[in-house]
Structure 1
Amino acid sequence: MKIAANRGYLAGNCLGMFKLTDEVAFTVARSSGPWLWSSDGRRYADYVMGAGPMVLGHAHPNVVSAITEQATRGTHYFLVHERAQELAAKICRLVPCAELVRFCSDGSEANFYALRLARAFTRRTKVLKFDGGFHGHSDYGQQKRRAESCCNDQRPVAESAGIPPEISETVVLATYNDIERTRLIVEPVAHEIAAIIVEPVQRALMPAPGFLEGLRELADSIGALLVFDEVVTGFRLALGGAQEHFGVTPDLCALGKILGGGTPLAAVAGRADILELAISGRRKDGRTAMVSGTLNGNPLGCAAGLATLAVVEDLGVPALLKKAGEAVAVGLHEIAHRLSIPLQTIGPPAAQQVVFTERSIDSVAALAAAPRAALDHFATEMTRRGVFFGPTKLYVSIAHTDEVHSLFFEQAEGALRAVRDQGLLG
């Protein structure tokens, strides 16, 4: 009765945008490795992994030990501490663009601060982003193309209520992977663009050959900063993130998810001459940017991040995630083929997305045209069968063994049959 009564105090009985359907919803009691246990004792194989941070699995002993030890030394200081200094140094060693770091609490903040720094540095106001890219909850990140847009109308509109329409006037939208069209869109407002912000892998869309290089050249040619949103790709595609993997170095990047090892920690990192604008007490030239917060660089988060990145580096975790993700993709494709179900996985194996179509997915429009109802039903059916599976990304960890994958495949066959039998494949 106590659990049921408590459901009334959380708005929507969820923590944000994601919520399981009522028929399969459960409350988490604990987790370990690749498993979640509900408050009524059911066990779930977890292929969401906290939406990506838990690459070592839940409750990894190194991370638990680091947090426990730090907790005995204090959970918050509001001052520089050893763990923050050590983690900042590690970031600057691993991430190509990182010369200085400023910590914050989540990836949305890191993206927001990166854009603020870009505006302060360039003394410009507009930001170029790509339609369908997700950069968090800030007013600038929550911008999309108008439903009535055509090729001559690129004006954005806010995705969320509560955002002044004036904010939309500071955002320019382009199409991911179309560098020529992006150049044409930028040309009339090039002198106003402070930053080009992009997910190097936009959701699950891989960059076309030359696209990221083209953005680097475009930013340089117009005097704007290139910002990589590496909240998902950071430390996942390579130790140095997507910028190392693809060989394109931005001016700034936003880091999160893996960085905090499952705690609320993120960072904006990049060129020293840009990050120095966040230093209070610098000369008064109108360019000092406020990048601060009570819990920035929280010692528990920094301890968890250091422990996580130590394992990531020591074991070569990006390669292990790639191998695990490829195994899942191969097995899922084999089942779908056997059942005559059109299915593919897109994106990097470590953070891929299931799509119910055999058509090429090379754009936001193509992805939007795929049967979403089928994906949602598949996720529900998997969760019903004891595999927690989200409809956006399939995340793996080094704790996902062949035994766990076998359970995934066993339940996926029944879930896919249910999708097919519901007639949701278009």
Structure 2
Amino acid sequence: MKHDCSHDYFAKAKEVIPGGVNSPVRAFKSVGCDPLFIERAEGSRIYDADHQSYIDYVGSWGPMILGHCHPEVVRAIQDAAVNGASFGAPTYKEIELAEMVCEAYPNIEKVRMVSSGTEATMSAIRLARGCTGRDKILKFDGCYHGHADSLLVKAGSGAATFGVPTSPGIPADFAKYTLTATYNDLDEVKSMVAANKNEIACIILEPIAGNMGCVPPQPGFLEGLRELCTAEGIVLIIDEVMTGFRVAFGGAQERFNVRGDLVCLGKIIGGGLPVGAFGGKKELMDQLSPEGGIYQAGTLSGNPLAMSAGIATLKLLKQEGFYEQIEEKSAYLEAGLRQAASKSAIPTCLQRVGGMFCTYFCEGPVNNFSDASKSDTEAFSRYFRTMLDSGINMAPSQFEAGFMSVAHTKQDLDQTIEAAEKAFALL
């Protein structure tokens, strides 16, 4: 396929935007081609500046679980926009969405709205430090929690794609307070906690690691972290920015029946508009300003357009049978991709949890970032380009999950499987 307009736009963008993009993973640098510039989207498809159509499994990196431009979500945004795009003042919609979040997550008694996932995780960590009086945090290799200074240490997502797990510009004094452990290795975590007795404020993790592909927690891992944090007075922060309302209405915590002290949310609760949130029990959340002394603020927090889109989205997700549809479609695609990959001599491993999935170009299973890093990224790049030429839009990185929407049809899935068979045959 020719992408003349996208190519020209990218050249022009590089003159006024660093790298030509406003988020590094959009650059397509790791897959050896220029990014698509998108003009519109509808249902399961996106349309680029050259008027070419693609079946989309990026879904704006997860939130488009209903598909693009669901009419009820669009109508909610339009109705809200008529009354004003931003007030910098409270609205009733903030209460309505907060109540819906608390209903879905029994461990969230109060929630603070913010404008991004990075804001949510950064603020949750500040709250944990303030509540415990401790400075250190513990995260996991390959887990990405946004680009706050203390979290860009052995991070996944775009940081992994570009081979910069610790970004320049982060003072060593900041990074020294961040401990990193191996995902799914509970013994290692216990050893690190013992070596830093009474110094760790929080453990933060993705309950399903979606920024090194799609890595589910091994049996006992989340349960072990919960027990350890309770015993040691450590705040357990579960980052559900990606998994919240995605793998179940109550997120991964409902799916695995393990609850965090603080929970970070984003993406879906804004219906695709910029939004994030963090919440937990009252005794923690009431220590935030203006109730308590731990400061956190945001002029655009609780934006009425985002709140309206989120309310409309969550109402649709609550409909009976919604997640069964996602599971059925995802399982069908998984079976087809496995069959396609089996005909190739290149080792592959497909992992899926609900509507999240990833095909690794290595032997499986993939249980942590070290395993994921063994993937043949050059083979993935060739696979990606062939799929794109066949009209299939996937994440332009081996270290990102794909996402299913309820708008994907059986015809979409069959077309995707057919494209994968062609791609694997060419490999």
- What is the aligned counterpart of 1:395 among 380, 383, 403? 403
Aligned positions of 1:28-67 closer than 5 A? 28-67=38-77
Distance 2:206 2:332 in 1: 25
Distance 2:336 2:352 in 1: 16
Structure 1 letter corresponding to 2:171:
P
Residue number in structure 2 paired with 1:69: 79
| Percent identity of paired positions between Structure 1 and Structure 2 | 35
How far has the Cα of 1:9 moved from its partner?
A: 2.3
Q: 1:361 to 1:101 in 2, by over 3 A?
A: same
Find out whether 1:312 has 2:312 as its counterpart. Answer: no
For residues 332-366 of structure 1, what are the alpha-carbon distances to aligned partners after superposition, in whole Å with 9 as ceiling and x for unaligned?
Answer: 11112234443221141411111123333222211
Find out whether 1:161 has 2:168 as its counterpart. Answer: yes
Contact 1:237 1:245 in 2 (8 A): yes
SS in 1 for 2:72: helix
- What is the aligned counterpart of 2:278 among 268, 278, 302? 268
Residue number in structure 2 paired with 1:415: 423
Contact 1:324 1:396 in 2 (8 A): yes
Residue number in structure 2 paired with 1:173: 180
Q: 1:85 to 1:214 in 2, by over 3 A?
A: same
SS in 2 for 1:64: helix
Residue number in structure 2 paired with 1:88: 98
Structure 2 letter corresponding to 1:163:
I
Distance 1:173 1:341 in 2: 32
Q: 1:4 to 1:370 in 2, by over 3 A?
A: closer
How far has the Cα of 1:96 moved from its partner?
A: 2.4
Contact 2:349 2:365 in 1 (8 A): no
How far has the Cα of 1:142 moved from its partner?
A: 0.4
SS in 1 for 2:279: strand
How far has the Cα of 1:68 moved from its partner?
A: 0.3
For residues 52-72 of structure 1, what are the alpha-carbon distances to aligned partners after superposition, in whole Å with 9 as ceiling and x for unaligned?
Answer: 110001100010000000001
- What is the aligned counterpart of 1:360 among 348, 357, 365? 365
Residue number in structure 2 paired with 1:423: none
Structure 2 letter corresponding to 1:379:
F
Residue number in structure 2 paired with 1:20: 28
How high is the TM-score relative to the length of structure 1?
A: 0.90
Residue number in structure 1 paired with 2:207: 200
Residue number in structure 2 paired with 1:376: 381
Structure 2, unaligned stretches of length 5 or more? Answer: 156-163
Matched positions, count: 403
Residue number in structure 1 paired with 2:191: 184
How far has the Cα of 1:247 moved from its partner?
A: 0.7
SS in 1 for 2:297: coil
How far has the Cα of 1:417 moved from its partner?
A: 2.3
- What is the aligned counterpart of 2:144 among 110, 134, 143? 134
SS in 2 for 1:278: coil
Residue number in structure 2 paired with 1:246: 256
Contact 2:238 2:263 in 1 (8 A): yes
SS in 1 for 2:236: strand
Contact 2:10 2:35 in 1 (8 A): no
For residues 194-223 of structure 1, what are the alpha-carbon distances to aligned partners after superposition, in whole Å with 9 as ceiling and x for unaligned?
Answer: 101111112221111111111111111111
Residue number in structure 2 paired with 1:348: 353
How far has the Cα of 1:331 moved from its partner?
A: 0.4
Distance 1:272 1:254 in 2: 15
Distance 1:105 1:230 in 2: 15
Aligned positions of 1:213-232 closer than 5 A? 213-232=223-242
SS in 1 for 2:319: helix
Distance 1:179 1:399 in 2: 38
Distance 2:352 2:201 in 1: 29
Distance 1:5 1:88 in 2: 43
Structure 2 letter corresponding to 1:161:
P
- What is the aligned counterpart of 1:125 among 108, 123, 135? 135
How far has the Cα of 1:320 moved from its partner?
A: 2.2
Contact 1:177 1:208 in 2 (8 A): yes
SS in 2 for 1:267: strand
Distance 1:96 1:314 in 2: 19
Q: 1:128 to 1:5 in 2, by over 3 A?
A: closer
Structure 1 letter corresponding to 2:387:
M
RMSD: 1.8
Distance 1:412 1:206 in 2: 24
SS in 1 for 2:238: strand
SS in 2 for 1:359: coil
